Chain A
């Protein structure tokens, strides 16, 4: 009924969807799985109209349709239940359900609240939620809000003719076990009204609920499995694809680290609700990888070491000194470098040129009495452009105009040239093409050889396994397991996944 044929989508430097075929039949639940960056979100955005494909067709019952925006998609029966809930918390449940569609209840210019409440009751009954529609949304539990969101999407049923397709994006990520079962029962029940596309990190849930499962990797659908034939292992293998390539991650260059010295020590450190009771040591030359799902607390640990987040309990030691005051200035002066995930926002300053970006964290070294020595800045920039092979016409080029890989190199040069010997890398290869990724891996090995301690939050699990000496698995802010990553004895993907989810 709803079908994508050979759908393509490009972003600058990235081929995000490659000739994707995707089909949803009437009354069907379709699962969609893939690693981070496999193209799931892009595909969903194409489906609900937030992105327009560059190639291929979207058809509904054989008719080609084109959506300019999500509202047009909704008018064709495509509804989205967002992961980040889209309800406005200070409005009542019924106001949320009919947000933007209040006109039907207007009599003589004012809203007939009674009629709206009755209509809302009918919608809530569809999701078996027995609450007063005049309740303020913020008073509901998270699970209840999820159901309200679903009820809101189900109003499409009355509004449009034809079939409904409802996307569920990670609907279970914050639900308790019994709430998940409730939701699943409901979704199965609702298949008589609509088809569903179910996206989740939790493989067992996808297997349980879906009639068919699409497996994505690198922007392409690599397999479609029917419910009865689905096996967790086989699907995970497809998600990861090729055998982990040792050359690719420069495993042959991985050398043992200096276990006698501790650069960063975490002793039972907690930070509010983000993570708790985390302990580890980082040594010179070590690549320590934090592995976990989105929001498991990995980034917060990096931010604590850099000084951006203060811990609420425990002791952080950097080079033997306990850290008492948490501020980024302190982190920088202790020799900590931070490569943030949001390269364009936190990594480089767009609008500033190459040398300005490189000396930003170490202006003291390139000035006297507060006056900049621009000549020295430029020669520093030239040296590092040469050393890292940064592709830029000259040192005056605005970093906002460089490609992602070159931006990342500028950020790396900023910290390395300033003598940082503790490097925090948050998704350093996100959004880079293969060549640029390999450059980053090469640089990680180089730094490690030079005795830099590296804490990495990798973009994919393969990357984490391939690059690291040590892997810590973290789930919901709590430590799960430590793996040793000596070449030849690296943990497998399945070892990790098992502890992550």
Chain B
């Protein structure tokens, strides 16, 4: 069987092999309670990666997600007292606007998305610093529980965070596979010129993809903020690399068009298992990004569709 044929199955096979390896080396990995808490821990990252999937699926990338989440942690903490649960709306709106703006810059001003989103990321970071006065802010525990306490309970042993993640996955999956928007995303990712020649409004599709990425990053930031009960312009640092790794090892290549949100769920689990393995192997936290950097390069090299690159990589 050729590599091209097993390529789509690569992610889950990788996940299975990694789980088995880690499990054999350390049987306590299979302890259900431990597994559940591992999975809940990875929820904010997963949501961010879910949004990122949309940007990568159309052949772009969103480098602003981490700063977007940082900004939202600050917004949520600062405005919780004024708006209560309403900060969720503000957060989502902020994500949508910043994402849509990146999309606008990419499609209408012809700035490649890696630059436009990087720049918008710094705008978000700066806004977060300004809003927080460069201090770590804390939420009032009572207010937090009143508005967002529901996020962290358990029902029948299932953490609510996990339920939120699954609901968002279901929404994203529905968007991707069942709507005209999702179909348009696929067309733009697989063959943008054909999408244009079919009369699709490609610019609008792209702008929406970046807006969705922004919204998911904002939701991730909100959950993270509530979880840690505070906000800080650096709170979500370290998420960006992991989110990109999750999308790519999941099997959505940088060239877009294939893969999708379910792949990202698998990719996030792979990241989770690698992270757990590094804990067992006692790899120092400072070295973990090194490992993920290498994993990222390997994932890109394995997944990228070279026929779309036309020989030029800069």
Contacts and interface: CB of A to CB of B under 8 A. Distances in A.
Interface of A: 306-308, 328-329, 331-333, 338, 340, 342, 345-352, 356, 359-361, 363-364, 367, 370-372, 374, 414
Given A349-B195, A351-B191, A371-B178, 13 more contacts: A328-B197, A329-B200, A346-B191, A346-B196, A349-B194, A351-B186, A351-B190, A352-B187, A356-B183, A356-B187, A360-B183, A371-B179, A372-B178
B75 interface: no
B92 to A, nearest CB: 19
B241 to A, nearest CB: 28
B179 A372 contact: yes
Nearest to B181: A370
B191 A332 contact: no
Contacts of B195: 349, 360
Nearest to B188: A349
B256 to A, nearest CB: 9
Contact of B197 (A333, A338, A350): A338
| Most chain A CB atoms below 10 A, which of B179, B190, B194 | B194
Which 5 residue pairs are nearest across A and B when measured between Cβ atoms? A332-B199, A351-B190, A349-B191, A361-B198, A363-B180
A369 to B, nearest CB: 9
A328 B191 contact: no
| Most chain A CB atoms below 10 A, which of B190, B195, B196, B197 | B197
A329 B178 contact: no
A367 B197 contact: no
Interface of B: 178-181, 183-184, 186-187, 190-191, 193-201, 257-258
A319 to B, nearest CB: 16
Contacts of A361: 198-200
Nearest to B193: A346
A348 B198 CA distance: 9
B310 to A, nearest CB: 11
B191 A345 contact: yes
B178 A348 contact: no
A351 B201 CA distance: 19
B59 to A, nearest CB: 12
Contacts of A338: 197
Contacts, number: 79
A100 B50 CA distance: 47
A372 B183 CA distance: 9
Contact of A346 (B178, B183, B197, B200): B197
A375 to B, nearest CB: 12
B200 A360 contact: yes
A328 B200 CA distance: 7
A349 B179 contact: no
A342 B181 contact: no
Contacts of A370: 179-181
B199 A348 contact: no
A367 to B, nearest CB: 5
B191 A367 contact: no
B144 to A, nearest CB: 35
A363 B184 contact: yes
Contacts of A356: 183, 186-187
A347 B187 contact: no
A352 B186 contact: yes
Contacts of B257: 351
B187 A360 contact: yes
Nearest to B203: A327
A331 B191 CA distance: 19
28 contacts: A308-B196, A308-B197, A328-B196, A328-B199, A328-B200, A333-B199, A345-B191, A345-B193, A346-B191, A346-B193, A347-B194, A349-B191, A350-B191, A351-B190, A351-B258, A352-B187, A352-B190, A356-B183, A356-B187, A359-B183, A360-B183, A360-B198, A370-B179, A370-B181, A371-B180, A372-B178, A372-B183, A374-B178
A340 B195 CA distance: 12
A354 to B, nearest CB: 14
Nearest to B199: A332
A306 B258 CA distance: 29
B190 A350 contact: yes
B193 A329 contact: no
Contacts of B199: 307, 328-329, 331-333, 361
B198 A332 contact: yes
| Most chain B CB atoms below 10 A, which of A342, A350, A374 | A350
Contacts of A352: 186-187, 190-191
A342 B193 CA distance: 10
B179 A367 contact: yes
A318 to B, nearest CB: 14
A374 B180 CA distance: 10
B198 A414 contact: yes
A345 B183 contact: no
B114 to A, nearest CB: 23
Contacts of A347: 194, 197
Nearest to B174: A371
A351 B307 CA distance: 12
Contacts of B193: 342, 345-346
Nearest to B307: A350
Nearest to A343: B194
Contacts of B181: 370
Contacts of B179: 367, 370-372
A329 B203 CA distance: 11
B61 to A, nearest CB: 19
Contacts of B191: 345-346, 348-352
A339 to B, nearest CB: 9
Nearest to A367: B180
A86 to B, nearest CB: 15
A351 B199 CA distance: 18
Given A360-B198, A360-B200, A414-B198, A349 B190 contact: yes
Contact of A372 (B180, B196, B201): B180
A18 B258 CA distance: 39
A377 to B, nearest CB: 9
A419 to B, nearest CB: 13
Contact of B194 (A308, A345, A359): A345
A125 to B, nearest CB: 36
A348 B180 contact: no
A264 B190 CA distance: 32
B187 to A, nearest CB: 5
A333 B198 CA distance: 11
